[in-house]
Amino acid sequence: MQGGPLSPLLANIYLDELDKELEARHHRFVRYADDLIILCRSRRARSGRLNEPPGSLRSGCSSRSIRTSRA
């Protein structure tokens, strides 16, 4: 369904739980459809957040789908 008009809608429905979990953990983040940016102040904070995927997304996260970069 990638690229179809329903793709962003389905991503928003599926990732709503992630949004709530990140807000509950007081993380700063930006998400548009299935693209997500989590803002961290340090490398230590970044590695801790990537090691603990929230809720039901643990099974959906793979090391290939996670990229980190320095701003």
Q: How would you write the chain as a 3-class SS string?
A: CCCCCCHHHHHHHHHHHHHHHHHHCCCEEEEECCEEEEECCCHHHHHHHHCCCCHHHHCCCCCCCCCCCCC
Give the model's pLDDT for residue 45: 75
Predicted confidence band of residue 59 (pLDDT cuts 50, 70, 90): low
What is the reported pLDDT for 65?
63
**Rounded distance between C-alpha atoms, residue 64 and residue 10, angstroms:** 21
pLDDT digits (tens, 9 = 90+) for 10-53: 888 888 888 898 898 888 889 887 788 888 877 777 776 666 65
The whole-number pLDDT of residue 61 equals 58
- pTM metric for this prediction: 0.62
- pLDDT: which is higher, 11 or 70: 11
